[in-house]
């Protein structure tokens, strides 16, 4: 198993400064500050403040593939195309400043984006004082805004936006998506997957719902932690499109619901003002304009996908002696949750 690594900040700063001089020679950009956000297991992200000759500063975000891959292919150009398409939609996203395919500058291709305003959403909202110390009606407004934004993503005309072929998936793609994840379980473990996880992935492949709803642009990582919020709790930007696909909107909705359920299970508390599950689904369906299909199956599939990613990252972290908030192998408690849900599964009639 390959071990984790991170590129050197000083080398990245030198390379990016040289790239700026090449792209904007008159500006005389220098890097005034370089930071890394708290996350970064599936990519390397740099938060840069650049200063020009007139002492004007600009904040940029630079995204690179991770030095050790979480994904078989990391397609920054596809992310740039998704962001470019969404700038013409109601979904707020960072602006694409540049996609650089040449690897000589930073040792890899990279994507430069505008810095999105606002405050990042919480990974565990019930533990975030910015959420929990708000009034219940403010909490509800934040949650409802997130749900409405999710439906807005799924309402984008992805074909007209030119995203057909830009990301994985097409009009009838659920079986292809499941097959991709079955292969991912094998790849992510270097051919030695945890048996219970491999069996759960095989179960998903053998029980794909017969009726596939219309395809939508799917975000791929629908979480509050991937959203920037204004002080009034409105959404200012939707981030992290590296898992974007074309497929049933249920892929995203189930991802959010299943991971939110896991968070509630492990932290043993909720946000009192948030929508209940039934309220959330009802609101989402009204915003999307159709009922959701086979949500129970999609939630199991979402748990399998998230566990497969955790398996990859936990193995890499263990091999490197790096702390990681998850565990690989049979000791992962989520595997028992998946198994219990498979045993209790009753397909929609």
Three-state secondary-structure class, residue 95: coil
Task: Write the Ramachandran bin of 124: left for phi over 0, alpha for psi from -120 to 50, otherwise beta.
Answer: beta
Token reading at 177: 């998506």
- Give the number of C-alpha atoms closer than 13 A to the C-alpha of residue 174, restricted to the C-beta side: 24
What's the first-to-final CA gap in the chain, in angstroms?
A: 44
In this predicted structure, what is the pLDDT of residue 1? 46
Please state the domain extents for the chain: 9-114, 119-344
Residue 97 to residue 41: CA distance in whole angstroms:
23
User: Please, what is the average pLDDT of the chain?
Assistant: 94
Q: How many CB atoms lie within 10 A of CB 121?
A: 21
β-partners of residue 98 are 112
pTM, whole model, 2 decimals? 0.94
Torsions phi, psi of 218, nearest 5?
-105, 135
Third-level CATH fold of 119-344:
Aminoglycoside 3'-phosphotransferase; Chain: A, domain 2 (3.90.1200)
pLDDT digits (tens, 9 = 90+) for 298-348: 999 999 999 999 999 999 888 877 877 778 889 999 999 999 999 999 886
Mean pLDDT confidence for 94-107: 98
Confidence of residue 170 (pLDDT cuts 50, 70, 90): confident
Task: Write the Ramachandran bin of 236: left for phi over 0, alpha for psi from -120 to 50, otherwise beta.
Answer: alpha
In this predicted structure, what is the pLDDT of residue 252? 98
Q: Taking 90 as the threshold, does the pLDDT of residue 191 lie above it?
A: yes
What does CATH list as the number for 9-114? 3.30.200.20
């Amino acid at each position: 198993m390959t071990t984790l690594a991170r590129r050197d900040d000083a080398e990245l700063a030198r390379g990016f400064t040289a790239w700026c001089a090449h792209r904007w020679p008159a500006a005389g950009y220098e890097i005034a500050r370089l930071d890394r956000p708290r996350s970064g297991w599936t990519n390397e992200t740099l938060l840069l403040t650049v200063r020009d000759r007139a002492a004007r500063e600009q904040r940029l975000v630079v995204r690179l593939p991770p030095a050790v891959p979480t994904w078989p292919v990391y397609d920054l150009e596809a992310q740039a195309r998704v962001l470019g398409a969404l700038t013409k939609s109601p979904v707020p996203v960072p602006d694409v400043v540049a996609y650089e395919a040449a690897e000589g500058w930073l040792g890899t291709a990279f994507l430069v984006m505008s810095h999105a305003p606002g405050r990042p959403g919480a990974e565990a909202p019930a533990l975030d004082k910015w959420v929990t110390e708000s009034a219940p009606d403010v909490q509800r407004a934040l949650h409802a805004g997130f749900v409405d934004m999710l439906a807005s993503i799924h309402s984008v005309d992805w074909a007209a936006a030119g995203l057909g072929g830009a990301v994985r998936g097409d009009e009838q793609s659920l079986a292809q998506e499941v097959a991709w994840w079955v292969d991912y379980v094998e790849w992510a473990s270097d051919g030695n997957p945890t048996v219970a996880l491999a069996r759960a992935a095989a179960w998903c492949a053998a029980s794909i719902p017969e009726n596939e709803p219309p395809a939508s642009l799917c975000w791929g990582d629908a979480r509050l932690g991937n959203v920037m919020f204004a002080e009034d709790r409105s959404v200012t930007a939707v981030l992290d499109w590296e898992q974007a696909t074309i497929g049933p909107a249920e892929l995203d909705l189930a991802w959010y619901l299943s991971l939110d359920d896991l968070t509630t299970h492990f932290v043993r508390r909720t946000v009192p003002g948030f929508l209940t599950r039934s309220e959330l689904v009802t609101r989402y369906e009204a915003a999307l304009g159709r009922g959701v299909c086979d949500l129970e199956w999609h939630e199991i599939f979402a748990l399998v996908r998230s566990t497969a990613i955790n398996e990859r990252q936990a193995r890499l972290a263990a091999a490197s002696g790096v702390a990681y908030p998850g565990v690989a192998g049979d000791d992962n408690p989520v595997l028992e949750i998946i198994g219990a849900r498979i045993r209790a599964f009753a397909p929609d009639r």
